[in-house]
Structure 1
Amino acid sequence: MDYSLQHHKALIGQPIHSLLTPSITISHPVLKANIRRLHDDVSSIGIAFRPHVKTLKCLEATRMMLGNGDHRKVVASTIPEILGVLPLAQEGLLDECLYGLPVYPSILPRLQEIRRSLPITLMIDSPQHIQVLEDFADRSESFGPWRVFIKVDVGSHRAGVVPETAALSDLVHEAQASKALQVIGFYCHAGHSYSSRSEVEVIQVLEAELAGVLSGAKLIPRSQPLIVSIGATPTAHAITKLRRLLPQNATLELHAGNFLVNNLQQVSTSLIGLEQQAIRICAEVCSVYPERNEALLNAGVIALSRETSAFEGFGQVVDKQGWAVVRLSQEHGIIGRTKSAEHRNVSLDFKDGDRVLLFCQHA
């Protein structure tokens, strides 16, 4: 068992620098403010919200993202994440979970079992998925048709069918005809929005998201209610700029997951400031190398990831401007100077055993 789970009570009330390293630290006031900001945005334009349970996998954070029941649906991409939110369903705060990957055969028995406790919605982007669901229906206990979103690729090229194509039209036609599923809407995720560097660029991606899901919605009879679900944290930050009108049968839903903590990738979009990052990685200096003006940290790829942004390196030292994690291996990080701070001296700024707080690129 992880040390922090065994001994977390002894850490309550202690300063950050008493933590074992590397550790993740969260600012509760910033966390609450970030959640409140997005809740206020979706409320101001009258759309639905579905938080993505991925960044902070804990009941307290998920309960806050749901607004204690104001929002009643989540998306999660792993079985442990779904199991982790079941207590919220038992509390009466959660009505549905969308499984965040296109469906595959081996996952269905596990999702079917969870379906006894919490309604599960699926995602499809291929005719093969329809066959998978029909085959499963033929050999398993019936819970009725699976509710499904059709995933649309709006530029990330990770999953989804391309809008305005015969492939999308054919998929919609086959899905509508199948007795094993019920199409409830169209879903996209603009993962490529993380590379945006201005509000204008983010809004362009946001408009492409909505155009993508609406390209599917127009293939459905107007009498059939639909959900069109768009989102990624960068476009979520710009959601109030959306001006496109929806068909009368369509309900707009926003999904996002990183918004509650934010990170340097979000700051790079220019839509939030450094002070809106709730997350820090606490690491420790293991050695200092004056000859190359660098220091070694006990936080590498596992703690920080290899994600990048407009900010140099793989993480920025919070309280010592001009220093960043410039190289990584699995468990090690190298602190070096950024291009704007060539005058900094590692021997003056760091020593063995120093605790260092880092802004991370992606959480």
Structure 2
Amino acid sequence: MDIDSNHPTLSGGEEVEEAENNPSLNESDEIEEPKKGMWFTSKQEVHEFYAKYAKNLGFAIAYRTQNVRSDGKVKYFGIECTRAQKRTKRSEVNPLKPSLSSKIDCKARIRAILQPDGRYKLTTVVLDHTHDLIPSDSRHFPMNKRIRTPVKRRLEINDEAGIGVSRNFHSIVVEAGGYEALTFDERDVRNHIENARRLRLGVGDAESVAFYFHRMQQENSNFYSAIDFDVDGRIRNLFWADARSRAAYKAFGDVVSFDATYLTNKYDMPFAPFVGVNHHGQSILFGCGLLSNENTDTFVWLFKEWLNCMSATPPNAIITDQCRAMQNAIQIVFPEARHRWCLWHVMKKIPEKLRGYSQYEAIKFALQSAVYDSFRKDEFDEE
């Protein structure tokens, strides 16, 4: 990052100058204030610089808008304080679920535009906030929270030894010298331990899974399986599809439904089947997954394994629930597929969103009529 527009992209011999001009690379605690005209080598570098500045002052940030060119390069983007935008009235969201919104139309933000040389230049910088800034609160922002690997391992060992979550967390607090020295809280510890427990299969279970997959492969060479391990060698995610599923996909794989809302009883791992419909209107299975969590990286791994299993032939359309992580993974692995939301998941939200209105029954009937009784697009649009 630099301010001189004639400054070239930095490389090997200019490492010292880059460290001086780029606050994110400085080892000192001095944080530079964003200014119009600053130059950065990448979108990530802009975010890292602004995130460090925000953490130092005591506010959180989030991407606001961005424009992507046809070649996939981001033309411009904005990053703003998370308390930007106007507060939504409770009645406009759900009158049955009153909640306080943290949005207070804060104007603090930056905007960067791609330049001909491939770098990004800050063209908009607004520093003033419409709320108090408390630097000590920064550690509570999700963007600043993280548990380092050695600490994760210690938490898991203590949990296996039967130490409760609260005592487990308190021991880390005492060793660190107080809550303020940590970049996570007890809830983060509880979430990590719950996730680690899902990965901790019972005695012999991991071997049984591997043996089963091996045996099925021996019986039929078209049986496909994949196991994803974590850094400690524990099973994290599974995928498998038999010969019938692979053959069915070749014939009926135009549209695929993917759902991860099922749970197994013992390990509470989401069961995620790929499902299609045959020429008799019957549901058919295209493959199955067992997942340790439901984040973007997990879905990317699963979709790539499934795509590899199906001879790298993506579906024309895929139907899922309204999961942001799924949506992100689909854009990465199936960029050409039409992504649509599952009708059942959409319609089940009618009571949740609309029951508080006096004309709820009439609204519900009208919506159901439009959705289920329309056979043509113009009919649906009219309803």
TM bracket, shorter-chain basis: under 0.3
Q: Indicate the structure with greater helix content.
A: 2
Larger-Rg structure: 2
Bigger relative contact order, structure 1 or 2 (CA pairs below 8 A, ≥6 apart): 1
Q: TM-score with structure 1 length normalisation? A: 0.23
